[in-house]
Amino acid sequence: MGLQQKVALITGGARGLGKMTAFALAQAGCSVAVSYVNSKQEADQLVDQLKEFGVRSAAYRGDITKSEDIQHIVEQTVHELGDIDILINNAGPFVRERKLFADYTAEEIRYLLSGNLLGVMELDHLVLPAMRKKGWGRIIHFGFSHAAEARGWPHRAVYAASKVGLVSFTKTLAVEEAQFGITVNMVCPGDIRGDNKEKWIHEVKSIPDMESPRGRPGAGEDVARAILFLCEDKSDFITGNMLDVSGGLDPIRTLPIRS
């Protein structure tokens, strides 16, 4: 796969989809750094597990909504593991509680925008110089299923707006950086919930899910496999794309907007 000796940074990588992506990249030969906010125990445990694949690994605490934390995460990764070749922007706040936009506080709006759009852009900006110098880089953004269609999503106004803005940024950055051997893509998971985020496909394939057109729930491995493919050396012709990994499920259902 040509990923040996590469260095990957996965934000929010201590648990869930980030954790499964860390396993996939470590198995492919990448050194892996993960960031976390509150999951220190899980992050330290993951680092030990990744090292069993014979790669280097480290974990750093940092909030993706804070510029100083973003700078710290990147600096520590480069200092300990080397220049970042692969950036997986997995971290991003999501409020499961349904609420009208008018009911959000200004602080909540800024928090969601910072975590899902501005922080991602800052991270990308920090890793680009080294990627350009090497003539190789992979940047992965996270969206939601059907994000590329920019439809309205009642009760998810701020989250949806930030991710749809990220769609445009993904496409723009992909075009600007293609000449430097850097690809930029977005992976859009479906409604993968709870423990399933850290499960392998064989663990969920026999479980019926009547909401999913595929007929089974999604697993963390579904998303990790897609990311691994986009990071491969021979995937350099695939850039500026939004890849739904949803089993065909549309998460934006018609909902009454009255609270």
In a domain, 108, yes or no: yes
Per residue in 45-65, pLDDT (tens digit) is 999 999 999 999 999 999 999
In a domain, 257, yes or no: no
Per residue in 160-197, pLDDT (tens digit) is 999 999 999 999 999 999 999 999 999 999 888 889 99
In a domain, 256, yes or no: no
In whole angstroms, give the CA distance from residue 134 to residue 143. 27
Q: What is the mean pLDDT of the chain?
A: 93
**pLDDT at site 250:** 81
The closest of 115, 143, 137 to 8, measured between CA atoms, is 137
Beta bridge partners of 188: 244
Contact 54, 5 (CB under 8 A): no
Supply the CATH number for residue 112's domain.
Answer: 3.40.50.720
Does 256 score more than 80 pLDDT? Answer: no
pLDDT over 90, % of the chain: 77
Give the domain extent around 211. 7-245
Side-by-side strand order, sheet with 137-142 = 57-61, 31-36, 7-10, 86-89, 137-142, 182-189, 242-245
Per residue in 90-144, pLDDT (tens digit) is 998 887 788 999 999 999 999 999 999 999 999 999 999 999 999 999 999 999 9
Per residue in 21-32, pLDDT (tens digit) is 999 999 999 999
In a domain, 2, yes or no: no
10 Å CB burial of residue 191 (0-12, 13-18, 19+) is middle
In a domain, 251, yes or no: no
pTM of the model: 0.93
The full 3-state SS of 201-218, as one line of letters, equals HHHHCCCCCCCCCCCCCC
**pLDDT at site 257:** 52
Q: In the structure, what pLDDT confidence band is assigned to residue 154 with cuts at 50, 70 and 90? A: confident
**pLDDT at site 213:** 85
Find the mean pLDDT for residues 211-231: 92
In a domain, 114, yes or no: yes
Does 66 score more than 70 pLDDT? Answer: yes
In whole angstroms, give the CA distance from residue 10 to residue 233. 18
**pLDDT at site 94:** 85
The closest of 120, 137, 117, 119 to 128, measured between CA atoms, is 137
In a domain, 41, yes or no: yes
Domain count along the chain: 1
Give CA angle at 229 (225, 230), nearest 5°. Answer: 120
In a domain, 144, yes or no: yes
In whole angstroms, give the CA distance from residue 61 to residue 43. 9
Find the mean pLDDT for residues 146-163: 90
**pLDDT at site 227:** 98
Does 258 score more than 80 pLDDT? Answer: no
